[in-house]
A = this chain, B = another copy of it.
Amino acid sequence: MALDKDEVSSRVLDIAEDLLNEGGAINLKARTIAEKAGIAVGSIYNLYGDLDGLHLAVNFRLLDRLSRAGMETMTQMQSSRVLDTKGRLLALARTYLEYVAAHPHSWAALLAFSPARIDAARREDYIGRLDGLFGIITKVLMDDKKLALDEEECVLNARILWSSVHGIVTSGVSSRASGNPEVETWRQVDHLVTVYLAGLERHPGRLTH
């Protein structure tokens, strides 16, 4: 029975994602994928151009999935009336933490994947999706009228908050602290959001250009 092209590409994508998630970018090998998918190595190149093209396709799917998870969190908060900025930021941070825990190596490989390796046509689209993720945090800050931040400031603060949470989650610092590493990571994320928001409330609109 011949498989149709869509079925083969999606199977190749699933296998590639599993490989990335098991061992990062060095684990993404055309021969392994071909064997697991029961197809010729050449078919992979026909579908995705090269391994970078395949990795990029996995990354697009990872970004879309994280974006969907973030939007779902926003919808849930809307229905459960979580409207305060701290509660919303913490719920988004929790979504990110759970996402990284579920995709540890493939997410690290995505972050290590330089946009410079992407052809110009798709680079815009790729960077656009990353910006879309920061856009969720930006919106939370924009919605808080008490903070009185303009859009540029919300974008800047959203990027800083994202990088800081990311740094706490991935630096492994908390795993060296005593006690349960997950509890310690969350304690640090909570404290970061609390202190940072207190700072933003104190200096509304003040940009350190």
Q: List residues of chain A with CB under 8 Å of any chain B CB.
A: 26, 111, 114-115, 127, 130-131, 134, 156-157, 159-160, 162-168, 170-174, 176-177, 187-188, 190-192, 194-203, 207-209
A156–B178 alpha-carbon span in the complex (Å): 12
Q: Is the interface of A mostly helix, strand, loop or mixed?
A: helix
Q: Are A196 and B194 in contact (CB under 8 A)?
A: no
Kindly identify which residue among B167, B202, B207 contacts A163, using a CB–CB cutoff of 8 Å: B167
Q: How many copies does the complex hold?
A: 2
How far, in Å, is A18 (CB) from chain B's closest CB? 20
Q: If A159-B177, A166-B171, A170-B167 touch, does A208 touch B196 (CB 8 Å cutoff)?
A: no
A192–B157 alpha-carbon span in the complex (Å): 8
Q: Are A195 and B191 in contact (CB under 8 A)?
A: no
A190–B207 alpha-carbon span in the complex (Å): 10
Report chain B residues within 8 Å CB of A173.
130, 134, 159, 162-163
Q: Are B127 and A191 in contact (CB under 8 A)?
A: no
Q: Are A191 and B115 in contact (CB under 8 A)?
A: no
Q: Are B164 and A164 in contact (CB under 8 A)?
A: yes
Q: Are A160 and B188 in contact (CB under 8 A)?
A: yes
